[in-house]
Amino acid sequence: MDFLPVNKEDMAKRGWEQLDFIYITGDAYVDHPSFGCAIISRVLESHGYKVGIIAQPDWKSDEDFKRLGVPRLAFLVTGGNIDSMVNHYSVAKKRRSRDFYSPGGEMGLRPDRATIVYCQKLRQLFKDTPIMIGGLEASLRRLSHYDYWDNRVRRSILLDSQADLLMYGMGEHQIVEIADALDSGLDIHDITYIKGTVYKTKTLDRIYDEYITLPSYKEVSADKLAYAKGFLTQYQNSDAITAKMLVEPYNDCFVVQNTPSLPIERAEFDRAYSLPYMRDFHPMYKDKGGIPAIEEVKFSIISNRGCYGNCNFCALAFHQGRVISSRSHKSILIEAEKIINDPDFKGYIHDVGGPTANFRNPACDKQLTKGACRDRQCLFPTPCKNLKVDHTDYLQLLRKLRDLPRVKKVFVRSGIRYDYLIYDNDTTFFRELCEHHISGQLKVAPEHISPRVLAKMGKPGRDVYDRFVKKYYEINKKLGKNQFLVPYLMSSHPGSDLKAAVELAEYLRDIGYMPEQVQDFYPTPGTLSTCMFYTEIDPRTMEKVYVPKNPHEKAMQRALMQYRNPKNYDLVEEALKKAGRTDLIGFDKHCLIKPRKNIGQNNFKKNKPDAKPKKKKTIRNIHKKKV
């Protein structure tokens, strides 16, 4: 067992003169099943194909791209585990200082829009060799899309990259079908029939299935209403069973999206994760400090895919789909044994989950044969009557893992969906979660508390979160544990005006918590919230939506969430005045800040200059007050 070839010397050791596929990735080479490059390359290898890896090539020269020669079948290109623009820039469009997917966290080892840059270089050097793109960057940009960094609608990445074929979603099915087709002698331009792919064509003569024609790129790039309508059609056709083919017209061609690939079956899922991964970064990075991204996932286990939680600001449903697939207990326990036998294992499995940890099965039996509902959601605004709420299988899995020799603790860190948890009338899982699977605090994501903002987020009402908080502390009290909740909250989401931001600040005041970091809404491709951000229209209703876009207003919304920070005083005061909430400036306990002339004594009681400063609120004060 070894890493796949990264140079000619590695190929020679295997007796290979030519590779079938050369995989180019914007990430460093990490052979672990948490990395898409590792899964796709190992799946191809398991089907008898010879695969080599070119990780983070120098796009300013030709040599790295020529390192492994010309592949017999095709180049495979991905920007990496996350979109290269998200990887490089904060929501304020400031350059990040670290790249966790690069050696030593060094920034600048991949270009902006990595998929496009790599493909254009390949097309220049290897004019006749097929190029296929995939991964998150390609998947979420498969059709025309609003690009936050350019602040305009960009074309399908298939056109801008000059690639021949695009794979979207999770690619194990598509890659094998395409590889076999190419190996049989089929031309890449004739591979137009595989689910989960997007191709370009001059005519629609070879489309025999029913399809929907989207507004043209010219229309959606000029008209926000057309963009909203086009996005809604994409959004409603993202389920493998119910979706129809989509055709997007351009001036000189059509971009055709085939229907999504079917969710991976359990046996396939197990097989993909049983392949001979090295479970670490390539040794060539050792002297450079390794790859930071491996640190958290090396001792974590992926147990499921897909998410029917379907938050509007999250692209997971657009990429992985809403139908849950999960691995067998046997497969997960075998992986756990590999983790335990790692020399660096200290007794702690860091996580067992996926997009949502406590989803192990489809939302309802209907999804298996009829797909996810086109116009209804499973949990929002209230749980569907067909929703199956059951933590039994996940609980049994966690019990088996924590009973393994040398395992001290099994943590659950990948998002617990608190509403699904509180809907379970059997509290056994909730109790054991608190007793065995968290350490001091549990992070959950209510995101906001304003009803109108939550409605645009696709999140449940505050009452559901309050029920969860109450139950959490009741269980911990019975267990004799002093454990706390850390709520993730978001500012400046579509629908959030200053009044909603003040409501959130009042909530933080009431629970005695000031977050150390505040996350602004980040408009990334493929989400319904991004469509609202760009168009200021809710595509589901075509109604206007208030969208905070002005940087100063966004700064005020952030400051309100950290109103106790003296550095934020001016912004908080301005926000309260603009929102008509000057009642929150004063000395009463309900006030957020004191009047300006008392700034210097901001932490002191009125008329008591000799009083001691109030004790600073810490994480241990969260939710101590009545919710």
C-beta of residue 56 within 8 angstroms of C-beta of residue 106: no
| Phi, psi for residue 619 in degrees, rounded to 5 | -60, -25
What's the pLDDT band for 598 if we cut at 50, 70, 90? low
Q: What is the DSSP letter of 332?
A: H
* pLDDT given for residue 439 in this prediction: 87
* Strands (DSSP E) found in 378-535: 409-410, 441-447, 484-491, 519-520
Nearest alpha carbon to residue 395 among 440, 350, 426:
426
pLDDT over threshold 80, residue 525: yes
What's the count of helices (H) and strands (E) in the chain, helices before strands? 24, 24
Q: Provide, rounded to the nearest whole percent, the portion of the chain with pLDDT above 90.
A: 91
pLDDT over threshold 90, residue 613: no
Range 28-32 average pLDDT: 98
* pLDDT given for residue 334 in this prediction: 98
Give the orientation angle of helix 428-436 with respect to helix 462-479, to 10 degrees.
60
CATH topology (fold) of 8-199: Rossmann fold (3.40.50)
Nearest alpha carbon to residue 71 among 164, 182, 173, 200:
182
pLDDT for 253-277, tens place per residue? 999 999 999 999 999 999 999 999 9
* pLDDT given for residue 306 in this prediction: 93
pTM, two decimal places: 0.92
C-beta of residue 25 within 8 angstroms of C-beta of residue 9: no
Nearest alpha carbon to residue 601 among 617, 612, 590:
612
pLDDT for 294-305, tens place per residue? 998 999 999 999
C-beta of residue 394 within 8 angstroms of C-beta of residue 429: yes
pLDDT over threshold 50, residue 121: yes
Give the orientation angle of helix 528-535 with respect to helix 224-236, to 10 degrees.
170
What's the pLDDT band for 618 if we cut at 50, 70, 90? very low
Range 94-102 average pLDDT: 96
- The set of residues, in sequence order, having a beta carbon less than 8 Å from that of 299 and lying 6+ positions away, is 339, 342, 345, 348, 349, 350
Work out the burial of residue 615: count CB atoms within 10 Å of its CB; fewer than 13 is exposed, 13-18 middle, 19 or more buried.
exposed
pLDDT over threshold 70, residue 596: yes
* pLDDT given for residue 86 in this prediction: 96
Nearest alpha carbon to residue 51 among 28, 33, 72, 30:
72
pLDDT over threshold 70, residue 607: no
pLDDT for 44-79, tens place per residue? 999 999 999 999 999 999 999 999 999 999 999 999
* pLDDT given for residue 624 in this prediction: 46
What's the pLDDT band for 516 if we cut at 50, 70, 90? confident
Residue 31 forms beta bridges with which residues?
280
pLDDT for 336-359, tens place per residue? 999 999 999 999 999 999 999 999
Domain boundaries, the chain: 8-199
pLDDT for 530-563, tens place per residue? 999 999 999 999 999 999 999 999 999 999 999 9
Nearest alpha carbon to residue 204 among 245, 157, 152, 158:
245
Q: What is the DSSP letter of 311?
A: -
Give the orientation angle of helix 428-436 with respect to helix 392-402, to 10 degrees.
30
pLDDT for 460-481, tens place per residue? 999 999 999 999 999 999 999 9
Nearest alpha carbon to residue 546 among 492, 502, 582:
492
Q: C-alpha angle 426/428/429, rounded to 5°?
A: 100
Range 362-389 average pLDDT: 93
What's the pLDDT band for 599 if we cut at 50, 70, 90? low
pLDDT over threshold 90, residue 509: yes
d(CA 582, CA 218): 47
Provide DSSP, 387-424. Answer: -----HHHHHHHHHHHTSTT--EE---S---HHHHHT-
Work out the burial of residue 385: count CB atoms within 10 Å of its CB; fewer than 13 is exposed, 13-18 middle, 19 or more buried.
exposed
pLDDT for 283-329, tens place per residue? 999 999 999 999 989 999 999 999 999 899 999 888 999 999 999 99
pLDDT over threshold 50, residue 625: no
pLDDT for 186-240, tens place per residue? 999 999 999 999 999 999 998 988 999 999 999 999 999 999 999 999 999 999 9
Q: Provide, rounded to the nearest whole percent, the portion of the chain with pLDDT above 70.
A: 95
pLDDT for 152-186, tens place per residue? 999 999 999 999 999 999 999 999 999 999 999 99
Question: CA dist 192 to 139, 165, 189, Å?
Answer: 17, 9, 7
- The residue type found at 221 is S
H or E stretch at 465: helix 462-479
pLDDT for 403-436, tens place per residue? 999 999 999 987 899 999 999 999 999 999 999 9
- The residue type found at 619 is I
